[in-house]
Structure 1
């Protein structure tokens, strides 16, 4: 879920074992987000299409797409081998044939050349340093067929500064506090949610929505549209 020289947060065995709990506790509307991603891809991905999944560790989105679209084939890439192992176990338990999914240990540039009919990068970009965002998005784009959709969802928070900024001073802190409050509402202990909020603020490269859209455009995607917002998370569908 990260680029070279960026430590993966998913190497600790305990964190890997708990991974499947995280998205639903952290991401508002996660169970609806997965079908939305499928719908956006299916608008252009054919029945026998090939989809690239960047940040595939854990296998949640792979399982969701594979069970609904039985003709799609997938290449998933992730820098955490334990997370890829978890994905393989999940897919096997779900009865997804092994010949439909190829898992690759590495980063976006480690993925096969394609060309792919679509791609996703869910809950991943916020682990990637700012200076590596455009190169990573460019690696994904150059593996896509012309007009193929790319769906990205990650932490993206307004800071109230500059043209188009939402709110004013303290806007980012407000949204991160809402992120923590959602965790508490999902059953996370308040002290754990507070630590997670502080960790996000201190360690992750959370851009503004305007910056995130600029990254996609700079990578070569000409049509960039937001389709999802859930407190501190936003999602876009893009194509060239």
Structure 2
């Protein structure tokens, strides 16, 4: 993260904690001053929640720490649970650690939320939801297929056996919940190649005209896209942020 971004994150954290008493996440506050072509900017404009998952806070430098401290862990998990609970389709893309989705503290079907339900916490269930993961790791599909063929993952859990030895592949923690979910779908490939195909087909089926399309960075279109982003997408504007705070009467 750049120094300006880290300093801005610290200022936003001060707002989140001392002015708003941890009522609003740093992502929301930052979105008020962000370009609408960015994820947080578009979310603020459309009034759609965007939240960083707990595992993804690690590795974000001071920004990750400030995001994590802007609201409590309980509140972040509860807000994420609400988003996931209301979703019909969940896509995991570019997400290194996904336990919060299918092994989270408030997920009741494959996760650890069964006890939270007793305490009237904001639980949700992945049962019947379509969970799609874009991943470069071919082992994800192998583990997923083994579970389909012989329930091998579930048996390993029931018997308390190491999944790496049972499956014969390097096993990642998030593979367990993903493979055991009956409606999960693994798509193995490069995100830069998968997303343009998925986005264009979905847009065609929904009769939506896309004003901007992302491409794999190494391609000619991808290089042009990066140049366009540098020339057109603006960094967070503090003046715009103040205007946004006033418009929301914050």
Q: Same fold (TM over 0.5)?
A: no
For normalisation by structure 1, the TM-score amounts to 0.28
Structure with higher Rg: it is: 2
Greater strand fraction, Structure 1 or Structure 2: 1
Greater helix fraction, Structure 1 or Structure 2: 2
